[in-house]
Structure 1
């Protein structure tokens, strides 16, 4: 006879994360999600845009496991993955294109464009995709984040 009851004394545990981002960052992401839901005409969702923003930022900032974040919000890991992909798309749509950024710097009289970059660590991918995001110099898996600035740092 199978017993699908939890072990005696076991209880569900919530996973908490200290998220070192400003309230304005959380509000920005939540507003983007809210506008996207309105644009799509979404009638309801399991969580509010603020909760979705905090969950996605925790995944992106701390590389939290999707399953851990899903359990605390009563959704599946695939739902959290979908939220992350949705927010990355919304944030990337706000970024200026390279040609437009360079044109703006030139129009403002800028002649020097410092280029800076950092490696944002990610989880190791499986299969043939494994080596694509591996940095031979720094040795971890990650994505290269580049930034162009003018002389003033803008």
Structure 2
């Protein structure tokens, strides 16, 4: 994704008063430290190890993102949205309903 696309997503989230749990692809794009809209994991490197608090924060974030990631994976495997030809607003509502039904089916 380009920086302009990230900025566009960030502006829409701020305008709606929403937030997002994102992967490391969004790291560094939200510079507002006091009121972050996009929450990402902490990044470790060979020279910079994570503190136990940062590891716990990464774990909590992963727990929050896992159901959504699994839901999208199931929708992709079932090829549910391949032939969808509708208004994007209707598609958003349909996708939300499908994710809820997918999570119910997987947890059953």
The answer to whether TM tops 0.5 is no
| Higher Rg of the two aligned structures | 1
TM-score normalised to the size of structure 2?
0.30
- The structure where strand makes up a greater share of residues is 1
Give the TM-score of the pair, scaled to structure 1. 0.24
